[in-house]
Amino acid sequence: MIPDYQTIMLPLLEHVKDRKERSLPEAIEHISKLFKLTEEEKREMLPSGMQTIIENRVGWSRTYLKKAGLVESTRRGYFQITERGQQILKQNPSRIDNKFLMQFPEFVEFHKVKKEEKQNYSQKTITESLDPMETLENAFQRIKESLADDLLKEVKNATPAFFEKTVLKLLRKMGYGDLVDGSMEHTGKSGDEGVDGKIKEDKLGLDVIYVQAKKWENTVSRPEIQKFVGALKGQNANKGIFITTSDFSGEALEYAKKIDSPKIVLIDGETLAQYMIDHDIGVSKVKNFEIKRKDTDFFVED
């Protein structure tokens, strides 16, 4: 299991107790071996997909130790233990965490904790296992998941025609078709032979993607996909997208993977909702947060 950033603090400080410089990648490798992380755990990413969890946690652990004066940066990308850090290790602490670091004025200042706030510093805050970036990303992910659930409910409550038109609008936002008339056509009606819409893949209309949109609660099985493939062949179509508000059976997914012509893509309800959020369909922006970090290259003198 990947250790939280506070659990990493003591092992990380011990890693540099010889006063030698260490880089962050070296520290990450050391901590990974120490806690016997699997290759899968070492590759596990934050919700944003921009950084591995272990890299993020070791980085924050180093930052907190530095703010407490236990380690210091020596040159770009490298750090080493300080005299204070060595003194702390001589005390043989069983654990170093946020509560432990609160004994250092620099760390208190880092947290901007007022005197009265320090007296009421809750155990819940002290023992929080997630570092600030993870906390922020997880909160964002929870908001996004809740929004996705709400969108999917709205789509399921809408009429089939509204759903089909929404799907076509989404595909346009994703870059298919063009803004000119005729690049997209809603064909869904009784006897539509399994095709609810079609959209030109490029501005010249050299290829057309056919769309089937199913507003279902039940799992879409293989026979439904086979019917869609038959409809595509009836249109001499090369590409198709099958979108549902529910999900697909394992057999349906396997069948879709094996088909080379026509090529089809399956999009389930969960994925549909995420695409709607990512491409601003049925949602509006409330507030933007910009996260910045120090540009170490800026502070390197020529």
Rounded to whole angstroms, the Cα distance separating 25 from 22 reads 8
CATH class of segment(s) 5-128:
mainly alpha
What integer is the mean pLDDT of 114-122?
41
| Residue 113 pLDDT | 45
Residue 230: C-alpha distances to residues 16, 175, 207 (Å): 65, 26, 18
- Which pLDDT does position 227 carry in this prediction? 92
Q: What is the pLDDT of residues 15-70, one digit of tens each?
A: 999 999 999 999 999 999 999 999 999 999 887 777 899 998 999 899 899 989 99
Return the pLDDT at 133: 74
pLDDT at residue 162, rounded to an integer: 87
Q: Contact at 8 Å (CB) between 198 and 213? A: no
Q: Which part of the chain has CATH 1.10.10?
A: 5-128
What number does CATH give the domain 150-278?
A: 3.40.1350.10
Q: Is the bond leading into 262 cis (omega within 30 degrees of zero)?
A: yes
Q: What percent of the chain has pLDDT over 70?
A: 83
Average pLDDT of the residues of the chain: 83
pTM to 2 decimal places = 0.56
Which residue type is seen at 174? M
Q: Would the pLDDT of 75 be above 50?
A: yes
Q: Where in the chain is the domain with CATH 3.40.1350.10?
A: 150-278
Where does 76-182 show beta strands of DSSP type E?
78-81
Q: Output 89 or 159, whichever has higher pLDDT.
A: 89
Q: Is the dihedral of CA 127, 133, 138, 143 positive or negative?
A: positive
Of these ranges, 170-174, 266-270, 297-301, the one predicted with the greatest mean pLDDT is 266-270
What pLDDT shows up at residue 109? Answer: 80
| Res 292: pLDDT | 76
Query: What is the pLDDT at residue 158?
Result: 87
Radius of gyration of the chain (CA): 27
Query: What percent of the chain has pLDDT above 90?
Result: 45
The residues near 162 (Cβ < 8 Å, ≥ 6 apart) are none
Which of 41-50, 92-101, 192-201 is predicted with the least confidence, judged by mean pLDDT? 192-201
